[in-house]
């Protein structure tokens, strides 16, 4: 009988990462492939996801894993689409595949137990899990109507601040030159190019790095933008926690995503607002990939049974 193998997958727009471990949790292999976005109207989308996972797992041994947990950005909400995706991955690995939203694996990676985790990158979502399995989420509405405090939200605020400074209706900011340079100008043609970009959301989100740098350098406008973002993320965390009573029986709040792991100008006001609300700020113990590995290896029973309501099991390939 072959030794047990478990595979965790963290897949999103920027990259797809795969990690294989043994039953004790020792890492056997890790790989990385291209990112993807799930768009069910695209006939070839399942092929795109399979190709991304296959590229990330290309050098993986041929051992059939005991279980695979895939935490994916934009997991389809319709059950038929989830079944199709689960069947495709089950066929690839010849194993049981568990599909979850990457906000769940981010939670498992950061806390591995009750509490609230805010995932903040291009978008944002807060997930709270109580010890009895009750759970709630806040935000995750996307850039048009939600994603408060996200990198996109910060980048859009920077564009507005630079435009307002150019119009002399608000305070000047040291960000202006860099913002308009990224746009390719401060005129109508530059704005038209922005609106025509297919990667407009990613481009605007990328401006959050500009804001963070200028905030760290002391620009008051950039600091104000980051402060508002941190407060918005904390508000989402508190709303999710209150929805399941976690502010009293599971008061820990942690985070995932590049916006909070890499930008102290956002993390500091986020932490301050969390603690001001009486919650316990906790540094993450792992990332979404480690959360996928944890759920693949240890399942959702015993000490991790609170994750059971969040799991969508897709079965085992013959």
pLDDT digits (tens, 9 = 90+) for 97-111: 888 888 999 999 999
Residues 255 and 203 in one domain: yes
pLDDT tens per residue across span 65-117: 888 898 988 776 667 777 888 888 888 887 888 888 889 999 999 998 899 99
Can you tell me whether residue 29 is helix, strand or coil? strand
Tokens for 124, please give them: 């944002």
pLDDT of residue 315: 38
CATH number for 77: 3.30.420.40
Q: 142 and 48 in one domain?
A: no
Give yes or no: residues 230 and 294 share one domain: no
| pLDDT of the residue at 46 | 63
Poorest-confidence range of 9-18, 130-139, 149-158? 9-18
According to the model, what pLDDT value does residue 76 have? 67
Per-residue pLDDT band for 38 (boundaries 50, 70, 90) equals: low
Tell if the pTM clears 0.75, that is, is over it: yes
Q: What are the tokens at 299?
A: 């399942």
Indicate if 77 and 181 belong to the same structural domain.
no
For residue 93, the model assigns a pLDDT of 82
Domain identity same for 184 and 127: yes
On average, the pLDDT of the chain sits at 86
Average pLDDT over residues 300-311: 71
State the average pLDDT over residues 252-276. 93
Cα distance between residue 219 and residue 111, in whole Å: 34
Whether 13 shows a pLDDT value over 70: the answer reads: yes
- One domain, residues 150 and 231: yes
Same domain, 142 and 257: yes
Residue 1, pLDDT score: 46
Is residue 59 located within the same domain as residue 180? no
| Full residue range of the structural domain in which residue 193 is found | 113-284
Q: Are 67 and 5 in contact (CB under 8 A)?
A: no
- For the cut 50, the answer to whether the pLDDT of residue 241 exceeds it is yes
Secondary structure letter of residue 145 according to DSSP: T
Task: Say if residue 54 is in the same domain as residue 150.
Answer: no
Number of domains the chain is built from: 2
* Secondary structure element (H or E) that encloses residue 27, with its range: strand 27-34
Comparison of pLDDT for 100 and 41, the residue scoring more: 100
Q: Which pair of tokens denotes residue 165? A: 């400074």
Strand partners, 127: 117, 137
| Residues 145 and 49 occupy one common structural domain | no
Rounded distance between C-alpha atoms, residue 200 and residue 212, angstroms? 20
Q: Band of the pLDDT at 62, cuts 50, 70, 90?
A: low
27-34 vs 96-101, strand pairing mode: unpaired
Residues 278, 9: Cα–Cα separation, whole Å: 34
Residues 91 and 215 in one domain: no
């Amino acid at each position: 009988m072959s030794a047990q193998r478990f595979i965790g997958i963290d897949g999103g727009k920027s990259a797809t990462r795969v990690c294989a471990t043994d039953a004790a949790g020792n890492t056997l292999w890790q790989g990385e492939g291209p990112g993807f976005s799930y768009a069910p109207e695209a006939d070839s989308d399942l092929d795109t996801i399979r190709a991304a996972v296959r590229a990330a797992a290309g050098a993986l041994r041929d051992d059939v894993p005991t279980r695979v947990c895939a935490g994916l950005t934009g997991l389809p909400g319709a059950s038929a689409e989830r079944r199709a995706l689960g069947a495709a991955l089950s066929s690839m690995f010849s194993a049981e595949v568990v599909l979850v939203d990457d906000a769940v694996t981010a939670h498992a990676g950061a806390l591995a137990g009750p509490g609230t985790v805010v995932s903040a990158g291009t978008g944002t979502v807060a997930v709270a899990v109580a010890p009895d399995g009750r759970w709630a989420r806040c935000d995750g509405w996307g850039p048009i109507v939600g994603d408060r405090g996200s990198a996109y939200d910060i980048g859009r605020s920077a564009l507005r601040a630079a435009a307002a400074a150019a119009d002399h209706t608000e305070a000047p900011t040291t960000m202006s030159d860099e913002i308009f340079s990224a746009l390719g100008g401060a005129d109508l043609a530059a704005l038209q190019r922005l609106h025509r970009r297919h990667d407009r959301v990613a481009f605007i989100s990328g401006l959050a790095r500009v804001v963070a740098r200028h905030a760290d350098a002391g620009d008051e406008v950039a600091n104000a933008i980051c402060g508002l973002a941190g407060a918005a993320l904390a508000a989402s965390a508190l709303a999710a926690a209150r929805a399941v009573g976690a502010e009293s029986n599971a008061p820990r709040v942690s985070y995932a995503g590049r916006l909070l792991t890499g930008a102290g100008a956002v993390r500091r006001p986020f932490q301050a607002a969390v603690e001001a609300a009486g919650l316990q700020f906790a540094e993450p113990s792992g990332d979404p990939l480690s959360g996928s590995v944890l759920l693949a290896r240890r399942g959702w029973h015993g000490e991790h049974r609170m994750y059971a309501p969040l799991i969508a099991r897709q079965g085992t390939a013959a």
